[in-house]
Structure 1
Amino acid sequence: MHVELQELGRAVKQAQYRQHRALDSALQAIGTTLAQWDALRAISRSPGASARELAAATFQTEQAFGTLAGRLTAQNLVERRPGHGRRIEHHLTPTGRQILAAGHKIADEVLADCFSALPNADRATLLDLLRRLGAARDT
Structure 2
Amino acid sequence: MPADLQPLGHAIKRAQYRHHRAVDAALIEIGTTLAQWDALRAIARNPESSSHKLAGLTFQSDQSFGALAGRMVERGLIQRVAGEGRALLHHLTPEGEEMLAAGSTVVDRLLAASFAPLNKAERQQLRALLSKLLGDDAP
TM class by shorter chain equals: over 0.9
Question: What is the alpha-carbon distance in structure 1 between the residues aligned to residue 82 and residue 91 of structure 2?
Answer: 11
Matches within 5 A, 1:80-119: 80-119=80-119
Matches within 5 A, 1:60-79: 60-79=60-79
**Structure 2 gap segments, 5+ residues each:** none
Following superposition, which runs of at least 4 residues in structure 1 exceed 6 angstroms of deviation? none
Amino acid at match of 1:100: L
Q: Partner residue of 2:47?
A: 47
Percentage of identical aligned residues: 53
Residues 114 and 3 of structure 1, relative CA distance in 2, 3 Å threshold:
farther
Amino acid at match of 2:94: P
TM-score by length of structure 1 reads 0.93
SS of the counterpart of 1:31?
coil
Question: What is the alpha-carbon distance in structure 2 between the residues aligned to residue 86 and residue 71 of structure 1?
Answer: 19
SS of the counterpart of 1:37?
helix
CA-CA distance at 1:3 after TM superposition: 5.5
Amino acid at match of 2:82: P
**Structure 1 gap segments, 5+ residues each:** none
CA-CA distance at 1:83 after TM superposition: 1.0
Question: What is the alpha-carbon distance in structure 2 between the residues aligned to residue 3 and residue 116 of structure 1?
Answer: 29
Amino acid at match of 1:132: K
SS of the counterpart of 1:81?
strand
CA-CA distance at 1:29 after TM superposition: 2.0
What value does the CA root-mean-square deviation take over the aligned residues?
1.2
Question: What is the alpha-carbon distance in structure 2 between the residues aligned to residue 28 and residue 116 of structure 1?
Answer: 23
Question: What is the alpha-carbon distance in structure 2 between the residues aligned to residue 16 and residue 100 of structure 1?
Answer: 21
TM-score by length of structure 2 reads 0.93
